[in-house]
Amino acid sequence: MRLIITLQVGNGLLLVAGFGLLIPSAFYSALKGQATKNSHGHHPFTDAKLTHDILYISRITSILLIIAFIMYILYNATTNHSIFDEVLEQDEHNDLDHHADVAKQKFTLTECAVAISGSIVVVTVLAWLLVERIEDVVEAGVPDQFLGLILLPLVEKAAEHLTSVDEAWDGQMVSSCL
């Protein structure tokens, strides 16, 4: 039962994050026609003011989403510390190559720290290169909405999806869903 509640909380947080990303876009779409290029006359609502307001709303929304995520992590850390133990243990016993996995040599703490640090550096450099090339891709004809909403999340989650498929192939259905 706690597993279902935990999954529902995670899904709810994902839904809130999705709507949180829509708030600045909806604000911009609703008010872009009313903004003027400059503030001559009696119309104080300019494009610069609209951009400033959107950035302000985006920052506030981001801070609220970060706080919600921290609360979610704290909730999981304090209430569900052993919720998956039995399920994961059963999955390990059902794993087709369990004996080969147990026999593999494990990394030391130093090797893990070096591997994680190296991975963070590589991912950071790749993300920076990707961001630098977004304008080139959009100019080549790929719509920026497709790039931001479909292509980037797909590429970002590719390794996670491949891991899930591998776990499912090995018969670890619960692990593949986590």
Claim to verify: residue 77 and residue 1 sit in the same structural domain: yes
Band of residue 118 on the pLDDT scale cut at 50, 70, 90: very high
Query: Do 101 and 40 fall within a single domain?
Result: no
Domain boundary among 83, 106, 136: 83
Q: How far is CA 57 from the centre of its chain?
A: 20
H/E run at residue 100: helix 98-103
Which of residues 36, 57, 83 is at a domain's end?
A: 83
Residue pLDDT, tens place only, 76-110? 777 766 666 776 677 777 766 767 777 788 889 99
* Residue pLDDT, tens place only, 135-175: 888 888 888 778 777 777 777 777 777 888 877 777 766 65
130: containing domain: 97-178
134 assigned to some structural domain: yes
- Residue 172 sits in the same domain as residue 119: yes
Give yes or no for a contact between 85 and 92, defined as CB atoms under 8 angstroms apart: no
Shared-domain flag, residues 10 and 77: yes
